[in-house]
Structure 1
Amino acid sequence: MNRQTSQQSRPVIRMRQGPAGRMGSVYGRHEKPKNAKNALKRLVKYLGSNVYLMLILIFVMLIATTINLLGPVIQGKAIDAINTFDKDSLFKYILFLSVAYGIGIIVSLSSGLTSVYLTQRTVRKMRKDLFGKLIHVPIRYFDTHMHGDIMSRMTNDVDTIATTISQAVASIISGIMTIIGVLGIMLFYSSKLTLISSLSIFLSVFVTVFLSKYIKKYFRRNQELLGMLNAQVEEAVYGHKTVAAFGKEEDLQNQFNETSNQLRKTYIKAQVYSFSINPIMTFINNFSFLVIVAVGAYFVYKGIDAMTVGTIITFTSLSKQFSRPINEIATLFVQIQTAIAASERVFEVIDEQPEVNLGKELLSEKEKVGTIEFKNVYFSYVEGEPVIQDFNLKVESGEKIALVGATGSGKTTMVNLLMRFYDIDQGSILIDGIDIRDIDKNSLRQAIAIVLQDTVLFTDTIENNIRYGKLDATMEEVIEAARISNAHNFIERMQEGYQTKLIESGSNFSEGERQLLSIARAVLAQPKILILDEATSSVDTRTEKNIQDAMVALMKDRTSLIIAHRLSTIRDADKIVVMDKGQVVEIGRHDELLAKQGIYYRLYQQQFAGNVI
C-alpha cells in the first residue's frame, strides 16, 4: 500500500482557531507547569531498566568514595607523624596514599565508562519508546502539533536528558556516599565540630530550594521556545521557494527574531538564577572552613576532644569533601531541572493515546472488494465546526468516480475518512457492506493506494522507494510497475539505474519524475481501491499524458476515486460528484453536469477563464 501523508491532506480548519490564526493558536501557547516529581520518577524507572549497570556503578563509586575519604584521614595521621618525628609511620602513610591514589585512577576510568554505557542504554530505550509512539499516534496529532517541535522533542530534549544522566547519576551516587562517609568520620573525631560543619548544609539546602522554583520555570519555557524555533526553521527551509515567491523574507525574519528574542531573554533569566548558586555556595563553604579552623584551634589550645593539628587538617579536608558533593548537586540541580523539563515534553508524546484499531475483519480474505458506500456521514475537525454534513454516496466496484469542488468543500477530507486517518462523528462508511470501523486498519489501508500531489519519497534507492508499496516484491515486479507508470525509461537513463539514491526525499529529481515514482509504488501495491488526490496537477502536459496512460491501465476493473481541480482530467469518469460545504450537490457525467449549468458548470467556466478553483 502506498501510504502517504502531506500538507494537502491536513485539516486547514484546525489551524485557524482564534484571531491570530496558526501563529496565534500554536506559537502563543503557554503550557501549565507539569508534575516534576512524576517526571523524575519515570526517569528513575528508565534508569532502573539497566539494573546490573546501576549496581556496577554503585559498587565502583563505593570504592572511589572510600579511597577519597581515606585520603584526608591518612594525611592527618602523616601530619601528626611529622610532629612526633615518627619516620616509619610517615613512610607507611605515604605508601598507603600512593597505592590509594593509583587505584583511584583506575576506579575513576571504570566509573566513567560504566556511566557512558548506562546513559546510552537508558536513552536508547527512551528514543525507542518515543519513536514507537510517534509512528502509532493518530494523524490528528501531527495535524495539530508543529513538526519542528515534535522533532525537537526527539532530538534536543532527548540529548538534554542524555547529557544530564551522564553527568548527574555518578555525581549524585558519589555525593550521597561521600556525605554519609564524611559525616561518620567527622562524628568519630568530634561531634562538636561536626555540628558546626552541618550548619552549612542546611543553609546550602535552603538556598537551592529557594532558587529551584525560578530555575525550573525558566528552563521549561526555554525548551518550549527552542521547539518553536526549530519549527520555524523547518517551515522556512521546507517553504523557502514559497517565501521567496511572495517576498515574505522580511516577515519571516521578524517572526524568527521575535521567537529568538524570547528565547534569549528566557535563557538569560534561567542562567542568572543558575549561575548565582555556585558563588553563594562557595561563600558558605569558605565561611564554614574559617569557622572550623578557628574552633579547631581553640579545641587544640584547650585540649578538648583530644584535638591535634593533624585532626584539624583531616577535619578541614573532610569539610571540603563534605561541601563538594553539596556544591556539585546544587550545580547539577540546574541541569536536572532542565532534564526534567525536557523529559516532561518527551513523556507528553509517550503518553499520547495510540491510534485505536478495534477492527477484526480482513479485506484480503474477501473475494469481492471495491464497493464503497457513504451513509449519512457527518464529520468535524473542530467540535461545532462541521466539515462534512449528511454526505451520501455509493461507488460500485470498478467505477471511476471524480470528486470536484471549490477549495475547502471537503474533497480531501473524504480521503482522510475513507483511510480512517480520522473517524467520522455520525453515519457510516462501508466497503463491500462492511463498516470500515469493523475492518482491521492495516487490512483497510493495504487495500487502498493513494497518489498525492505532494509526493513523499524516502532517502533511499529508486528500487526501495518503489518496493515500499510491496516489500516482498521481486525485481521483475518492481521494473514492471515502473514500466506501467512510464517511469522505467527515465530510470534506465540514469547511471546507476534502479540503484540511484534519492537525496532529501527526491530533491535531485524533477516534480514529474517524483510523481511517476509515486505512481509506480501504487502500481506495485496492486490495490483494490485507488485514490488519486491531485495526482497530475504538479506536472507538465507531456508528463501528465504519460501519467494518464498509466492510470488508465491501473484503474481498469478497479474502484477509483479521483480528486482533481483540473476538470479536463476527469471527463471520462463514470460519475462526477460535485461537493459544496461538505455535501453532495450534483452527480452525473461531464456533459450532463455542464447541461445543468449548476455549480460544476460554474467551476468549469471559471477554470477555462483562468481562475483558480
Structure 2
Amino acid sequence: MARRQKTKPQENKHLNRFHYTIDQAIEKPFNWEQMVRLLKYLKPYAKTLLPAAIIAMLVSTIIRLVVPILIGKVAIDIAIANQDVNMLIQLVVGIAILYLFSYLGNVFRIKWVNILGQNVIYDLRQHLFSHVQRLSHRFFDSRSAGSILVRIMNDINSLQELFTNGIINLLMDIVTLLGIIIILFVLSPKLALAIMVVLPLMFYISTKLRRNIRRSWQRVRIQQSRLNSHLNESIQGIRITQSFSQEKENAEFFDGVNTDSFEAWRNATKKSAMFRPFVEMSNAIGTVILISYGAWLIIQGPANGGIEVGTFVSFAFFLGMFWEPISRLGQMYNQLLMAMAASERIFEFLDEQPNVAEKPDAKQLERIKGHIEFDHVQFSYDDKRIALHEISLEMKQGQTVALVGHTGSGKSTIANLISRFYDPTKGAVKIDGTDLRDVTIDSVRQQISVVLQDTFIFSGTIMENIRFGRPDATDDEVIEAAKVVGADEFIQRLSNGYETEVEERGNVLSAGERQLLSFARALLADPRILILDEATASIDTETEVKIQSALRRLLKGRTAIIIAHRLSTIREADNIIVLEHGKILEQGSHDELMDQKGEYYDLVKTQFQMLDAI
C-alpha cells in the first residue's frame, strides 16, 4: 500500500478530478427514461404479484375513502339528524366489516409487495453480477474491487425500499390524493377551493428543495463508494500495513474518508428532514382555513349555499387523510432521488460493453490441436504506449515455448492475447489457423489453462478448489491430478485431507502449496494449451524439481507457454523467445541461443553471476 500523507478529518481534501466527477454526476437531470428502464425489472411479475398487490391496495384505499362519507353524510346528516337508531347500528356494523376487508387488503398488499420487491432485487443483482463477470480485463484494470462491490451490494440494496414499498405506496398515495380531491369538490366546491390555496405553496417548497436533496444523496453514494474502496484496499493490504507499522497513519486516513461519508449522510438527511415540517406547516394552514371558513359555511346553512355539519365532519376526516399522502409523496420523491443516484451507477456498469466482444456469427472452436500463430500482431493497453510491435511468431502443436525478457517486454501480453483476455490492435492471433475473433470466447478458454504467479484460492475445500477447472471431475480424478503435480503429499497431512476448508485466498496455506493447487486445478481441466505465467516463482527449489519432473510427462502432447524470470526452469523448452520492449530479439533452443551469445546469453550469464555472488 502506498504511503499516504497524514490527514485530519477536517483537513481532508479531495482531488480536483474527484470533485469534477462528483459535479458531473450531480448536474445530470433526473432521467425518467432511466427510471422506466429500472421499472422494467417488474415485467416478469406483471401478470402475477404486481396486479395482486395493486388490487389489494385498491380495496383498502377505496374503503378508506368511503368510510368518511358514510360517517359524515349518512351517520350524522341522516341517521343522527333523524334519530334513526337502526340505521346507525347498521352503519356501525357495515363500517366494521369494511375495516376488516381493509385490514385484509393491507395484509396481502404488504405480503405481496415484499415478495415482489425481493424478487426484483434478486433479479437485478444477478443480472449485474453476471454482466460484470463477462466484462473484459480492461474494465477491471481501471476499477478497484471495492468500487465494484459497492455497485453490486450497496447500490442495489438502496433500491430495495423502492421495490418493496415505494412503487405500490406511490400508486396508493396518488389514488388516495385524487380520490380525496374529487370527493371534496363534490361535497363542497367552495370549501375545497379554499383548502387548495396551500397547494401552490407546497409545490414551490418541494420544487425548491428537490435539487438540493438530489445533490446531497448523489454525494452520499459517491462518498460511500470511496469508503468501501478504501476498506477493501486496507483489508487486502493489511500485511503490508502492519509490516511497515502504518496502522496509525492508515487509521487517520480512514478517519478522513469516514468523516466525509458521515458529513454527506448528515447533510442529506438534514435536507430531506426539512420536507416534512413544511408539509406539517401546510397542514396547519389548511386546518385553520377549514375551521374558520367551514364554520362560516355551516352558519350559512345549505339553503344559502353553505354546508351541513356532516359535510364539515367528512372534510375534517379527508383533510387529515389529504396531507398524509402528500407528505409520503415528498418522502417518496427522496426515495426516488436515492434510487436515481443508485440506478445511474448500476446502469453505468450494465451499459459497459466488453472490449473483447463476440461476433454475432461467432462459431464454436472445436477440439484444438494447439498450433498458435501471431500474424503481425500489434497491441496497446492504451493510446500512449505500444506493448507489442507487429510481432509474428509460431508455436507448433505440442511444443513447449518459453517467453523471456525484462519486465514490460510483452511476455504476459502474449499470454493474455492467446487466452483472448484482450484482442490485438492490429494483426491476428490464430489457433489451428482460426482467428480467435471468429469464435466464441468460452470455446477458446475452455481449452486453455492458465497458472499465474499470484494464484487465487477460493474459500471452500481443497477438493472444490482443484475441481474448479472442471466441475464434473470425479474425486479420483481430482486426487490423481494432485498426485501428478506433487500436491497430494501435503494435502494428506492436512487435518481433513481433501475436505479441509481453506479460507478466502487460501491464507492458511503456504505460497508454494497454493501454487501446487493451482497446478492441479489447471491440469485437471485437461487443456490443449497450458500457460504458466511465472508459475514457479513462489515455489522453493526442491518443490520446483518435483514439478519439473511432473511437467515433462504432463506437457507431452500439449502446447505449453512458459513465462519465467528464473531461466533454469526453461532450459528444456523447445523454443525460447527473447522479447524486449514488445519486439522479438531472438529465438531458438537454449543451446542455440547460448551459441549466439546475444541477449539470452547475457541474461543467463547475469543470473548465474548473481547466484554465485549469493
TM-score when normalising by structure 1:
0.89
> 2: distance between equivalents of 1:59 and 1:312?
31
Counterpart in 2 of 1:566?
566
State how 1:403-442 maps to structure 2 within 5 Å.
403-442=403-442
1:62 equivalenced with 2:62 (yes/no): no
Counterpart in 2 of 1:5?
none
Contact 2:405–2:565, Cα closer than 8 Å, also in 1? yes
The residue matched to 1:423 in structure 2 has which SS? coil
Counterpart in 2 of 1:458?
458
Counterpart in 1 of 2:366?
364
Contact 2:300–2:306, Cα closer than 8 Å, also in 1? no
Bigger RCO of structures 1 and 2 (CA < 8 A, at least 6 apart)? 1
Counterpart in 2 of 1:510?
510
1:155 equivalenced with 2:153 (yes/no): yes
1:43 equivalenced with 2:38 (yes/no): yes
> 2: distance between equivalents of 1:607 and 1:590?
15
Counterpart in 2 of 1:605?
606
Q: Cα distance, 1:144 vs. partner?
A: 1.7
User: Could you list the per-position Cα deviations for residues 194-240 of structure 1 after superposition, in whole angstroms to 9, with x for gaps in the alignment?
Assistant: 11222233322222222111212221222122122212211111122
1:132 equivalenced with 2:134 (yes/no): no
TM-score when normalising by structure 2:
0.89
User: Could you list the per-position Cα deviations for residues 575-612 of structure 1 after superposition, in whole angstroms to 9, with x for gaps in the alignment?
Assistant: 3222221112232444554562536625752675379x
The residue matched to 1:561 in structure 2 has which SS? strand
Aligned CA distance change for structure 1 residues 28 and 607 (closer, same or farther; 3 Å): farther
Contact 2:578–2:599, Cα closer than 8 Å, also in 1? no
Paired residue type of 1:45:
K
1:231 equivalenced with 2:229 (yes/no): yes
Aligned CA distance change for structure 1 residues 180 and 60 (closer, same or farther; 3 Å): same
The residue matched to 2:457 in structure 1 has which SS? coil
Corresponding pairs, count: 589
Q: Cα distance, 1:554 vs. partner?
A: 1.7
Contact 2:375–2:429, Cα closer than 8 Å, also in 1? yes
Contact 2:114–2:165, Cα closer than 8 Å, also in 1? no
> 2: distance between equivalents of 1:24 and 1:285?
44
> 2: distance between equivalents of 1:41 and 1:159?
19
User: Could you list the per-position Cα deviations for residues 247-299 of structure 1 after superposition, in whole angstroms to 9, with x for gaps in the alignment?
Assistant: 44455434433433332332232222211101011101111111111100010
State how 1:88-167 maps to structure 2 within 5 Å.
88-167=86-165
Aligned CA distance change for structure 1 residues 214 and 49 (closer, same or farther; 3 Å): farther
User: Could you list the per-position Cα deviations for residues 514-568 of structure 1 after superposition, in whole angstroms to 9, with x for gaps in the alignment?
Assistant: 2111111111122111110111111233332332222222222322111112223
Counterpart in 1 of 2:270?
272
> 1: distance between equivalents of 2:18 and 2:404?
31
> 2: distance between equivalents of 1:419 and 1:27?
38
- Among candidates 245, 259, 262, match of residue 261 of structure 1: 259
Greater CA drift, 357-366 or 394-403:
357-366
State how 1:332-371 maps to structure 2 within 5 Å.
332-354=332-354, 355-358=356-359, 360=362, 362-366=364-368, 369-371=369-371
> 1: distance between equivalents of 2:407 and 2:554?
27
Q: Cα distance, 1:385 vs. partner?
A: 2.0
> 1: distance between equivalents of 2:550 and 2:440?
30
Aligned CA distance change for structure 1 residues 296 and 160 (closer, same or farther; 3 Å): same
Contact 1:363–1:447, Cα closer than 8 Å, also in 2? no
> 1: distance between equivalents of 2:402 and 2:561?
6
Greater CA drift, 163-172 or 305-314:
305-314
State how 1:512-591 maps to structure 2 within 5 Å.
512-590=512-590
Point out where structure 1 has 5 or more consecutive residues left out of the alignment: 1-22
Paired residue type of 1:571:
R
> 1: distance between equivalents of 2:608 and 2:334?
61
The residue matched to 1:560 in structure 2 has which SS? strand
> 1: distance between equivalents of 2:407 and 2:172?
64
Q: Cα distance, 1:401 vs. partner?
A: 1.8
State how 1:131-210 maps to structure 2 within 5 Å.
131-210=129-208
> 2: distance between equivalents of 1:150 and 1:45?
23
Q: Cα distance, 1:471 vs. partner?
A: 2.7
The residue matched to 1:387 in structure 2 has which SS? strand
Counterpart in 2 of 1:376?
376
1:299 equivalenced with 2:297 (yes/no): yes
> 1: distance between equivalents of 2:421 and 2:394?
20
The residue matched to 2:128 in structure 1 has which SS? helix
> 1: distance between equivalents of 2:247 and 2:230?
13
> 2: distance between equivalents of 1:607 and 1:282?
83
CA RMSD, 1 decimal? 2.7
Q: Cα distance, 1:176 vs. partner?
A: 1.2
Counterpart in 2 of 1:10?
none
Counterpart in 2 of 1:497?
497
Counterpart in 2 of 1:487?
487
User: Could you list the per-position Cα deviations for residues 387-442 of structure 1 after superposition, in whole angstroms to 9, with x for gaps in the alignment?
Assistant: 21122322222222221222222211111111111111112222233222233322
Counterpart in 1 of 2:393?
393
- Among candidates 71, 79, 103, match of residue 67 of structure 2: 71
Contact 2:594–2:600, Cα closer than 8 Å, also in 1? no
> 2: distance between equivalents of 1:419 and 1:178?
59
Contact 1:405–1:603, Cα closer than 8 Å, also in 2? no
Paired residue type of 2:268:
A
User: Could you list the per-position Cα deviations for residues 167-202 of structure 1 after superposition, in whole angstroms to 9, with x for gaps in the alignment?
Assistant: 212221111111122122212210011112222333
> 1: distance between equivalents of 2:156 and 2:294?
49
